[in-house]
Structure 1
Amino acid sequence: MSDRAATSLAPSAVWTLEEVRSVRHWNEHLFSFSISRPAALRFRSGEFVMLGLEVEGRPLLRAYSIASPSYADELEFLSIKVADGKLTSRLQLIQPGDQIVLGRKPTGTLVADALLPGKRLFMLSTGTGLAPFLSLARDPDIYQAYDQILLVHCVRTVSDLAFRDELESHFADDPLVRDEALLQFRYLPTVTREPFHTSGRIGALIDNGRLFRDLTDSSTQFDPENDRIMMCGSMSMIKELKERFEGLGFIEGSRNVPGTYVIERAFAE
């Protein structure tokens, strides 16, 4: 355990203290980590939770989407590294055995019941916005709800394609979904600042037809009758695509009133 992540805090009604189990640094800007899971914690695939460290005697918490499936024994998260970030400058230094402050109440809008029934689920992400879709794409129920699960992940560099091997293998190491994922799950990674077999932002891939050619068997456009869309990532991506989809007749949903697309507003700031 490292001294920097030791804490004098005690568990409360609002948070619990969990142990870092593993840390993976994808590059100098991106890392993922797993922590112990409280026995009482229940969450739905796609939700986020408040998470952080003790800083100056108080918990410093930020919203982090849970990347692990709801049945996992540990909780996994994906984070950027910001050198002068109040939390991430410290969080990127964690090691196995360190303590993490974890909120007790997961929530969020990127959940299956915020959408009306449909046939295809498009999950559109940039950067660490991939995290909730890692959880959803490993949820057995999502394969019962949709014929196709279609994930797009847009990043700047190839090394930013976190979990690429797992995604390209259709979760071959996960016995709960690998058979369904092999037939129903498709993954399209795209890179904007380095050479890669697919390049360009998500909007450009829609415009040039690449998104549909790589992910679907026949269609060349989004269909509000049958398609359902989730978005998580940069505010610019969400703003651009939100306007595009509403122009096509898609309606934003929520936990209370399901629609044909949803975004995670907790990160749209």
Structure 2
Amino acid sequence: MSAFYREKVLSVRHWTDTLFSFRATRDSGFRFQNGQFAMIGLEVDGRPLLRAYSMASANHEEQLEFFSIKVADGPLTSKLQRIREGDTILVGRKATGTLVTDNLLPGSRLLLLSTGTGLAPFASLVKDPDVYERFDSIVLVHGCRQVSELAYGEELVARLRDDELFGPLLQEKLLYYPTVTREPFRNRGRITDLITSNQLFDDLHQPALDIGTDRIMMCGSPAMLEELKQLFEARGFEEGANHKPGHFVIEKAFVER
């Protein structure tokens, strides 16, 4: 048996000159937990060229969706950004990753902190009914440099708000906080600073960070992940991993390339 599923590209959407998303078929045998990633890529010169990509689709959806950065000289993304409807992509048979709710201790508020395409695993998680069962409130934070880079997340949340199943859940439980660093916008600043200053919680009319109630997932740039990890550990939060639940989890394998 091949190590990969060969899936057909169903649609491609270019959001900016640096961001795109695409949907593909999903083999009925491909199983994953919301928040996980798989190795995906293309066959180049008869050999697989692969990178870790989080599924932006939920595990109950019939199609797969991925959200990607474009890197002009990136070994994979320089080619992947040119895919079209009908093309074939490779999807690894095994999904894995730390951004699953079982890796967190019980809590009442879930903070999903992302920058750039690090939003992808959380696009999967906010479509998971189980997440709304486990937590009283979910705060989805998406940090980007420019306003245009928020479009994927803004459309995702708008679509869910209109959804028959998720609309009522979102109204009751999901708080969405987009923020940018390089342009005027209603929310400005880096995620680390917004948490340290309490601005994030003040803007959302929420209580301050609390180790007793808050559980955190993070995905994005390495610098942001390291800063946030230090911030949370300084406040007594402990990192969780597979089979060892903690106060926060980080996806280290997800690389923007």
Q: TM-score range by the shorter chain?
A: over 0.9
Which letter maps to 1:233?
A: G
Is the aligned partner of 1:74 residue 2:63? yes
Query: Structure 1 residue 159: deviation in Å?
Result: 1.1
Query: Structure 1 residue 171: deviation in Å?
Result: 0.9
Name the counterpart of 1:5.
none
Query: Structure 1 residue 178: deviation in Å?
Result: 1.9
CA displacement 1:141-168 (0-9 Å, x = unmatched): 0000000000110001111114233344
Name the counterpart of 2:215.
228
Is the aligned partner of 1:259 residue 2:246? yes
Q: How does 1:154-193 map to 2 (within 5 A)?
A: 154-169=143-158, 171-193=160-182
Q: Is the 8 A contact 1:115 1:259 kept in 2?
A: yes
Which letter maps to 2:238?
A: I
CA displacement 1:165-186 (0-9 Å, x = unmatched): 3344371243332211111001
> What CA distance in whole angstroms lies between the structure 1 residues aligned with 2:205 and 2:97?
28
Task: Give the 3 Å change call, closer, same or farther, for CA 268–64 of structure 1 in structure 2.
Answer: closer
Is the aligned partner of 1:194 residue 2:183? yes
SS of match in other structure, 1:45: coil
Is the aligned partner of 1:35 residue 2:24? yes
CA displacement 1:104-131 (0-9 Å, x = unmatched): 0011000010001100000000000000
User: Equivalent of 2:102, from 92, 113, 132?
Assistant: 113
Is the aligned partner of 1:243 residue 2:222? no
Percent of residue pairs identical = 55
Task: Give the 3 Å change call, closer, same or farther, for CA 143–198 of structure 1 in structure 2.
Answer: same
Query: Structure 1 residue 211: deviation in Å?
Result: 0.5
Name the counterpart of 2:78.
89
Task: Give the 3 Å change call, closer, same or farther, for CA 242–44 of structure 1 in structure 2.
Answer: same
Detail structure 1 runs of 4+ shifted over 4 Å in the superposition: none
SS of match in other structure, 2:200: helix
Q: Is the 8 A contact 1:17 1:101 kept in 2?
A: yes
> What CA distance in whole angstroms lies between the structure 2 residues aligned with 1:153 and 1:74?
24
User: Equivalent of 2:93, from 104, 112, 119?
Assistant: 104
Query: Structure 1 residue 32: deviation in Å?
Result: 0.4
CA displacement 1:200-220 (0-9 Å, x = unmatched): 100111133221023343x12
Which letter maps to 1:230?
A: M
Which letter maps to 1:226?
A: T
SS of match in other structure, 2:231: helix
Give 5+ residue unaligned stretches, structure 2.
none
CA displacement 1:200-243 (0-9 Å, x = unmatched): 100111133221023343x12x1111100000000000000100
Q: If the length of structure 2 is used for normalisation, what is the TM-score?
A: 0.96
Name the counterpart of 1:143.
132
SS of match in other structure, 1:242: helix
Query: Structure 1 residue 13: deviation in Å?
Result: 3.1
SS of match in other structure, 1:182: helix
Query: Structure 1 residue 42: deviation in Å?
Result: 1.1
> What CA distance in whole angstroms lies between the structure 1 residues aligned with 2:124 and 2:151?
14
Is the aligned partner of 1:17 residue 2:11? no
- Greater alpha carbon shift after TM alignment, 175-184 vs 120-129: 175-184
Q: Is the 8 A contact 1:25 1:32 kept in 2?
A: yes
Task: Give the 3 Å change call, closer, same or farther, for CA 156–93 of structure 1 in structure 2.
Answer: same
